[in-house]
Amino acid sequence: MRHGRRLFAITFLVPAVAVYAVFVISPYLQAFQISATNWRGLSPKWDYVGTANFRNLLSDEYFWNALQHNAILLAVLPVATITLGLFFASMLSVGGHGGRAGVHGIPGSGFYRIVYFFPQVLSVAIIGILWREMYAPNGGLVNGFLRAVGLGALARPWLGDPDVAFWAVLFVMIWSNVGFYVVLFGAAMQSIPREIYEAVLLDGASRFTTLWRITVPLLWDTIQVAWVYLAIIALDGFALVQIITNGGPAFSTDVIGLRLYNTAFADAKFGYASAIGVAMFFVTLSVAIAFLRLSRRERLEY
Residue 104 Cα to chain centre, angstroms: 30
Q: Please state the rounded mean pLDDT for residues 21-47.
A: 91
- Asked whether the bond before 249 is cis by omega within 30 degrees of 0, the reply is yes
Between CA 291 and CA 201, with CA 90 as vertex, the angle to 5 degrees is 115
- Per-residue pLDDT for 98 more than 60? no
pLDDT on residue 191: 85
If you write DSSP's letter for every residue of 201-260 in order, what string do you get? HHTT--HHHHIIIIIHHHTHHHHHHHHHHHHHHHHH-HHHHHHHTTT-STTTT--HHHHH
Collapsing DSSP states into helix, strand and coil, what is residue 25? helix
The confidence band for 100, taking pLDDT boundaries of 50, 70 and 90, is low
The per-residue pLDDT for range 285-297, each reduced to its tens digit, is: 999 898 888 877 6
pLDDT on residue 293: 87
The pTM of this model reads: 0.89
pLDDT on residue 299: 62
- Domains identified in the chain and CATH numbers: 60-294 (1.10.3720.10)
The confidence band for 184, taking pLDDT boundaries of 50, 70 and 90, is very high
The per-residue pLDDT for range 213-267, each reduced to its tens digit, is: 888 888 999 999 999 999 999 998 899 999 999 999 999 999 999 999 999 999 9
Distance from C-alpha of 30 to C-alpha of 22, rounded to nearest angstrom:
11
